[in-house]
Amino acid sequence: MLTFEQARNRVIEEVGKRKGPRATAVISVWDALGLVLAQEVKTDREYPPFDRSTRDGYAVRSKEALPGAQLKCVGEIKAGDIVRDALGLGTCLQIMTGAAVPSGADAVVMIEHTGRNGDVVLFERAAQQGQNIVPKGSEAAAAQTILTPGKRLGYAELALAAQVGAAHLDCALRPRVAILSTGDEVVLVDEAPGEFQIRNSNSVSLAAQVRLAGGEPVVLGNAADRIEDLGEKIERGLKEDALVLSGGVSMGKYDLVESVLKAMGAEFFFDAVAIRPGKPAVFGVCQGKPVFGLPGNPVSTMVTFELFVAPAIDLLSGAEARALPLVEARLGEAMKEKPGLAHFLPARVEWRGAVPEVKALKWQGSGDIAALAKANCFLVVPADRETMEIGESVSILPRKDVI
């Protein structure tokens, strides 16, 4: 059986092999958050475009602004002012943050380090050459490539594009991810369940996770545990960029997902992973499309999505697969788990001291959605550990939607 790291790497390897060029669209910078860039973005000029003051203060010749020196202030420069004239010898100019430093000046002295008497400015300490000035072109040259295809657009990247006037960006279309739940007991969320039926919460969590991962969910509803119904709906799902199924992958008599996929020509890369919850997770490729069969217990579905489906969506978006963001924390409570499988337990991490502290939450197992809704992370218990002591260093996987 593969470890979760091996299984995840297998997904990255197989989906990586198959990712082709993505269809793209030109998207306004206002709407491009979370998309993956499909073009280069170059600067339209040097950055900064002029020697820029980073402080409110006085533009000076550093050699003249010695401790105790007095210089006549002959004017002021506001941010946005046109600056053509050089600083005269023996004078200074009041200058604001973001304003252009005049030629001749080689330092800006913070206003806090000066005194003023009418026109005369008194300097308290020695000015260093270049202080509080960002030189023209020091952030980027003109026509320099600052963003490249495959870059995920977060708020800083969007601001960078905006800075250079790239108001519209060619972006990869979000991969369309078909979501199909399975099970005779499953009814639609807005249907009234019979006494022994349950609502389809997995399609809701999966759609949310697909969105968070940068994909576009295509919810196909629920397939009964029957070969024909499964076959038809899987066929439909394979028209999208990837297919995620929930349920029907365990050892039960009516767990038919794997055999139906197999009959449709699927090649499987794993059908079990050494984790709890989520052990029966399946990954294969069917008719050229990545297919994930996630176990139906809701917490299993959520965990296995994060571990195995999220990196595939990165790759299908034209980006690199992001690393699993495991974080080190201090265990806040001793615990005991069955060894043999790595556990991903609903847990709460708090940032009180220097090191985050984590405690597992009480739960009723992988059907307990309420426990996960109280959690802000998963506590990762390695497969070879049976007991863990308070104060031990452990790994957590933050829930990226709530942290």
Residue ranges binding ligand AMP (CB under 6 A)? 181, 183, 186, 198, 200-203, 246-248, 250, 252, 255, 295-298, 367
On whether the CB atoms of residues 315 and 19 are closer than 8 A, the answer is yes
Which stretches does DSSP call E strand in 237-356? Answer: 242-246, 267-270, 275-276, 282-286, 289-294, 327-331, 335-336, 342-350
Q: How many residues bind Mg ion (CB under 5 A)?
A: 4
Give the x-and-dash track for 207-246 against Mg ion (CB under 5 A): ----------------------------------------
Q: Which is nearer to Mg ion, 157 or 255 (CB)?
A: 255
Q: Which is nearer to Mg ion, 284 or 296 (CB)?
A: 296
Give the integer Cα–Cα distance in Å for 266 and 122: 80
Give the integer Cα–Cα distance in Å for 347 and 311: 23
Phi-psi region of 398 (alpha: psi -120 to 50; beta: other; left: phi over 0): beta
Residue number, nearest CB to ligand AMP? 296
Shortest Cβ 53–ligand AMP spacing (Å): 59
Quick one: what does residue 231 bind among Mg ion, ligand AMP, none, with the CB cut-off 5 to 8 Å set by partner type? none
Beta-carbon contacts of 183 under 8 Å, excluding residues fewer than 6 positions away, are 222, 224, 225, 247, 248, 296
On whether the CB atoms of residues 28 and 77 are closer than 8 A, the answer is no
Q: Which is nearer to ligand AMP, 257 or 315 (CB)?
A: 257
Shortest Cβ 194–Mg ion spacing (Å): 16
> Does residue 183 bind Mg ion (CB under 5 A)?
yes
Q: Which is nearer to Mg ion, 170 or 185 (CB)?
A: 185
Shortest Cβ 366–ligand AMP spacing (Å): 8
Quick one: what does residue 293 bind among Mg ion, ligand AMP, none, with the CB cut-off 5 to 8 Å set by partner type? none
Quick one: what does residue 200 bind among Mg ion, ligand AMP, none, with the CB cut-off 5 to 8 Å set by partner type? ligand AMP
Shortest Cβ 314–ligand AMP spacing (Å): 25
Shortest Cβ 220–ligand AMP spacing (Å): 12
Shortest Cβ 271–ligand AMP spacing (Å): 13
Task: Tell me the two tokens of residue 27.
Answer: 């998207």
Q: Which is nearer to ligand AMP, 248 or 332 (CB)?
A: 248
Shortest Cβ 261–ligand AMP spacing (Å): 14
Residue 36 amino acid letter: V
Among 401, 352, 394, residue whose Cα is nearest residue 375: 401
User: Per-residue DSSP letters for 40-84?
Assistant: -EE-SS-BSSS-EE-SSEEEE-TTT--TT-EEEEEEEE-TT----
Beta-carbon contacts of 266 under 8 Å, excluding residues fewer than 6 positions away, are 284, 285, 286, 291
Quick one: what does residue 181 bind among ligand AMP, Mg ion, none, with the CB cut-off 5 to 8 Å set by partner type? ligand AMP
Give the x-and-dash track for 26-65 against Mg ion (CB under 5 A): ----------------------------------------
Q: Which is nearer to ligand AMP, 83 or 207 (CB)?
A: 207
Give the integer Cα–Cα distance in Å for 280 and 286: 18
Beta-carbon contacts of 243 under 8 Å, excluding residues fewer than 6 positions away, are 177, 178, 180, 234, 237, 286, 289, 290, 291, 292
Among 133, 135, 123, 18, residue whose Cα is nearest residue 63: 123
Backbone angles phi, psi at 397, to 5 degrees: -110, 105
> Does residue 247 bind Mg ion (CB under 5 A)?
yes
Q: Which is nearer to ligand AMP, 35 or 260 (CB)?
A: 260
Give the integer Cα–Cα distance in Å for 100 and 163: 17
Shortest Cβ 218–ligand AMP spacing (Å): 16
Q: Bridge-partner residues for 223, per DSSP? A: 182
Start-to-end CA distance of the chain, whole Å, equals: 32
> Does residue 280 bind Mg ion (CB under 5 A)?
no
Give the integer Cα–Cα distance in Å for 252 and 380: 28
Shortest Cβ 134–ligand AMP spacing (Å): 55
| Stretch in the footprint of Mg ion (CB under 5 A) among 72-80, 211-219, 263-271, 294-302 | 294-302
Q: Which is nearer to Mg ion, 223 or 335 (CB)?
A: 223
List of residues contacting Mg ion (CB under 5 A)? 183, 247-248, 296
